[in-house]
Amino acid sequence: MINKNELILNTVSIFKDKFKNKPDIISLAPGRINIIGEHTDYNLGLAIPTAINRWICVAISKEKGSSIKLYNNNYKFDFNFSLFDEIYKDSSWMNLVRRTFKIFKNEYNLNNSFNIAINSNIPIGCGLSSSTAFTISLINAISKCLSISLSKSEQIILSQKIEKISMKTNGGLLDQFSILMSKKSKLMLIDFQNNGIKYFSQKSLNQSWIVVNSKINRELSNSKYNDRVSECNKGFNFLKEKINIKKYSNLKESILNKYPINDKIINKRIRHVISENNRVKSMYKAFLKHDSTSIGRILFDSHKSLSFDYEVSCKEIDYLIDCSSKIDGWRGGRIIGGGFGGCTINLIENQIIENYSKIINEKYFKRYGIHPDIFPIVFSNGAEVNKYKKNIYNENL
Ligand code: GLA
């Protein structure tokens, strides 16, 4: 896997090859993991995410005119369009690009040409938030080029707005917060009811966080995701008629015994959200006590809840978790992100990482004919954007 510096150098050299000039700005946005607190953000609950050491890099220069010349190295694709083009539906990343420029044109009077090279080592569409990283890196690149200074909250709101329009998802703010607010080696406890963040460190436990990419495409995930959002709306509206909910994360599961929701599915969805918020609280305490047995158990409980109550897992991911649970030294793990495929996050004893990867690879391949991608992650800084200066990146010219 290439590191951040190599990714930047690589992107700069692609930019120079394509446009025969140097970029003005380098913008980087990381992927994210979420240790716990899944599908709680749009329910005003809690989560513990952070950014990871995988990035999308945008190299950009401002030119005269009104045309955008973009090269996406991940798809080996040249994408050229004019600021005056109508928006029509093409692939999702192109749609994101068009929408972003349209918004800058309408809201910030953007009237320039741009040359752009994009390059990323975040696996795409598998629960590590590659599309929010894409949007944020682009927003930051364009705004820096135009000397528009956007606060973090403006970046968060703009990115959510662009993704909502172009991807038609009613997501919460988990991804934007993780990508913009993370700090190196830290986790964040976020309360989405007031957007408060508490930073804390994980003491070295002789264990690593390992991502396993099932390579199962999250097909139809957007519409199923939106179904979950509206099921939760219905469930919480029902509860709000019965009780005064001051703090969503303080609800206890027993409320559903007192006021059962007569739709079984919605009852299950709400049970997941309430129990997940309580798991976030327990997880935070477990981190403070460096109690890795509890951390592992809570992860596993979260997976069961996401699989049975929230029904956002799939057989391949359940199989990965089931195989993992039989390996000594696997502390716990679960599906991450929106679900319906994608990745698992696992806490693993350092001395078994190699063996773990071997066993999971063999078993998963035998069952599904797919080699999963298995890699460790570290907690990283959020997005950054800088003027391009060749000596910063130790470039050899
Ligand atoms: C997706 C959404 C987030 C969040 C997660 C589930 O990643 O973009 O807002 O809802 O799913 O926790």
pLDDT tens digits, 15-30: 999 999 999 999 999 9
Contact 272, 172 (CB under 8 A): no
Q: For residue 309, what are the CA distances in angstroms to 218, 294, 305?
A: 19, 21, 5
Rounded Cα distance between 156 and 142, Å, is 15
Rounded Cα distance between 375 and 1, Å, is 9
CB of 342 sitting under 6 A from ligand 1: no
| Mean pLDDT confidence for 341-358 | 97
CB atoms within 10 A of CB 339: 23
| Average pLDDT of the residues of the chain | 94
Please determine, for residue 396, whether its predicted confidence score (pLDDT) is greater than 50. Answer: no
CB of 172 sitting under 6 A from ligand 1: yes
Contact 49, 176 (CB under 8 A): no
User: Of the candidates 352, 334, 346, which has an alpha carbon nearest to the alpha carbon of residue 376?
Assistant: 346
Which DSSP letter does residue 395 get? -
CB of 163 sitting under 6 A from ligand 1: no
Partners of residue 69 on adjacent β-strands: 80, 115
158 or 220, greater pLDDT:
158
The pTM of this model reads: 0.96
Percent of the chain at pLDDT > 70 equals 96
Distance 332 CA to ligand 1 centre (A): 21
User: Of the candidates 273, 375, 322, 307, which has an alpha carbon nearest to the alpha carbon of residue 53?
Assistant: 375
User: Count H helices, E strands: the chain?
Assistant: 11, 13
Distance 171 CA to ligand 1 centre (A): 6
Residue 205 has a pLDDT of: 73
* Longest CA–CA separation in the chain, Å: 70
Q: Report residue 179 as tokens.
A: 């990508």
Rounded Cα distance between 160 and 191, Å, is 18
Rounded Cα distance between 153 and 177, Å, is 9
User: Of the candidates 361, 346, 367, which has an alpha carbon nearest to the alpha carbon of residue 303?
Assistant: 346
Helices marked H in 182-263: 221-242, 255-258
Q: For residue 24, what are the CA distances in angstroms to 116, 139, 142, 146?
A: 10, 15, 11, 11
CB of 15 sitting under 6 A from ligand 1: no
Please determine, for residue 397, whether its predicted confidence score (pLDDT) is greater than 50. Answer: no
Phi, psi of 132 (to 5 degrees): -70, -40
What is the CB-side half-sphere exposure of residue 340 using CA atoms within 13 A?
15
Contact 101, 58 (CB under 8 A): no
Residue 259 has a pLDDT of: 96
CB of 41 sitting under 6 A from ligand 1: yes
Amino acid at 284: Y
State how beta strands 113-120 and 67-72 pair. Answer: parallel
CB of 46 sitting under 6 A from ligand 1: no
Partners of residue 348 on adjacent β-strands: 208, 330
Distance 10 CA to ligand 1 centre (A): 30
CB of 306 sitting under 6 A from ligand 1: no
Q: Ligand 1, closest atom to CA 172?
A: 9
Confidence of residue 392 (pLDDT cuts 50, 70, 90): low
Residue 389 has a pLDDT of: 85
| Mean pLDDT confidence for 66-77 | 95
Please determine, for residue 126, whether its predicted confidence score (pLDDT) is greater than 60. Answer: yes
Distance 283 CA to ligand 1 centre (A): 19
Contact 216, 317 (CB under 8 A): yes
20 CB-near residues (< 8 Å, 6+ apart): none
Q: Report residue 385 as tokens.
A: 């954007």
